[in-house]
Amino acid sequence: MKKKLIAAFLSVTVTLTLSLSGCGKSAAPASSTADSVAAATTESTEGVVSDEKSSDSISIRVSDDPLNINPLYVTDLNSFTIMQSLYAPYFEIVDGSVYYGNGLLQSVTANDDSTEFTLVLKDNLKWHDGEPITADDIVFSSNVVLDEEQAVPYSTYLLDSEGNPGEVSKKDDSTAVINFKVPNTGFLGSLSQLYCIPEHIYKDVKNIGESELNYEPVGSGPYKFVSYNSGQTYTVERFDDYFDTPSNIKTINFKIIKDTNTAIAALQSGDLDAMSISGVDHDTVAGINTVTINNYNSGNVDAIGFNQLNENLAKPEVRQAIAYALNKEELIQFAYTSLDFAQPAYSILTPNTLYYDDSLTKYDNDVQKAKELLSEAGVSKLDLKLLYSTSSDVNENTAVYIQSKLAEVGIIVTLDPEEDSVYKNLIQKENNSDYDLVLQKYELGAEPSLYADIISAGSRSNYSHVNDAELDALWDKGLSISDPVERDKVYKDIQKLINDKQYIYPIDYTNGFFVLSNNYTGFDDFLLQTIYYDYSKLNHN
């Protein structure tokens, strides 16, 4: 597949986001979580939080140190969460439409065949050091993305379906034009995931991703960098020359709290104002009456990847057998404690994704069928290693359930829990056969072509090492056509092919929960979509 990382949306308008993982690394069940919180604090949860902290600030939890704040190199949730306060995107896609509110552009238009895109900046934009943001920055940033030596992980976002790079030029100080050799109906989706970096800061820097300049970023967003203390806090301050209405919150302290129990205790005592939680911690946090739990459609999918570098897992009958050996509803109950927190998933696409197919064959909950398929495949004994990140207690619960259920059909599963940083290195290692099964999460938005990222030859998140020429051809076809009827057929064919061959086993579609102190408002405007935040919309009461 020539274009290995694809992003797009609605025929010619659009929505990646990174494979993301939620909260903390505690593996304790909900009851012990409550005990830990009670033991960690004697503060009362009555009334409002302490007034000792400045009303000009808010503290938001991240579960680990950021890896890289430069928006062209962000590949983890913690970095992404912080980065969004510092950099403005070109635009966002919200509810299926282009949203310019928190973006640098005032318009982006395509010609009739989607080979040319004109980008017009808003007036009087400034970088945090006061320098103007111009079309030169767009051209520079685009060329950095395309420069192989700069190794930007999103480099294919500026390629068309045949692998041709877009040609970026400046029309005037506020206008840039991007041309492609063939129609690129998915480009708006790709562009919504890219960011602009300042040419005057990074010009002539040979390895931008590793540059020390990234430690004190000069951004374009509603907040500017103040300080970073590893393992403790990352602090940003309101940028008063921001192009949109500034927040009335002057300072954001991103508190680095790795353990979920500790974070919940800090939330209860008033030392923390906001955090994301999983369904496992929902009931515990619901008992804190100084906060509100905001529910939303996370767009997140939990899944099992089958590493096809294992010759047994390269057989579709074996992958189907594993799917039949599991019971999705039972798995969700075990992992999340309730079906209120996640729903069974059968397609790799989410129900709100364009061209989602809910009529796929359900490989689920048939132990006898699983045994028959293993016999047909000539597999009588199978030992598999299951890799997963310890960043979420849900992962631990899921892994234990899988181990137990697969034992019923004669498959021995060895659990391989790893710290999140180690886990990420392992899954991104080229041709890694050190694991057989892998728990993964992805959130890819409403445009189906984005999902090529997890199942196409050579793509960044193809942890199952799937290599299927027929599938790759379908992904390319879906990206290059604009007729909705034709696109519908292509993506239905893609879902059916992936499901029938069980290239990946979607477990569930999860609900999102963002906890916010009652001292703050603005969540509905703050959450643009799934994990995309507009920090300028948060307000102190």
How many other C-beta atoms lie within 10 A of the C-beta of residue 519?
19
pLDDT at 93: 80
pLDDT above 90 coverage of the chain, percent: 67
Q: What is the pLDDT of residues 446-494, one digit of tens each?
A: 778 878 889 999 887 899 999 999 999 999 888 788 788 998 999 999 9
pLDDT at 20 > cutoff 50: no
424 vs 150, higher pLDDT: 150
Domain boundaries 30-67+213-286+513-540, CATH class: alpha beta
Whole-Å CA distances, 197 to 71, 73, 176, 193, 240: 8, 11, 15, 13, 19
373 vs 394, higher pLDDT: 373
Query: Superfamily for 298-511?
Result: Dipeptide-binding Protein; Domain 3 (3.10.105.10)
Q: Which has the closest alpha carbon to 263: 26, 21, 483?
A: 26
Q: What is the pLDDT of residues 258-309, one digit of tens each?
A: 999 999 999 999 999 999 998 889 989 999 999 999 988 788 899 999 999 9
- CATH number of the domain at 92-208, please? 3.90.76.10
- State the alpha helices, DSSP H only, in 203-289: 260-269, 282-286
393 vs 71, higher pLDDT: 71
Q: What is the pLDDT of residues 41-80, one digit of tens each?
A: 333 333 333 334 556 999 999 999 999 999 999 988 899 9
Instruction: For 307-428, list the strands marked E by DSSP.
Output: 342-344, 382-389, 411-418
pLDDT at 235: 98
Domains in the chain: boundaries:
30-67+213-286+513-540, 92-208, 298-511
Decide: residue 285, CB within 10 A, 0-12 exposed, 13-18 middle, 19+ buried.
Answer: buried
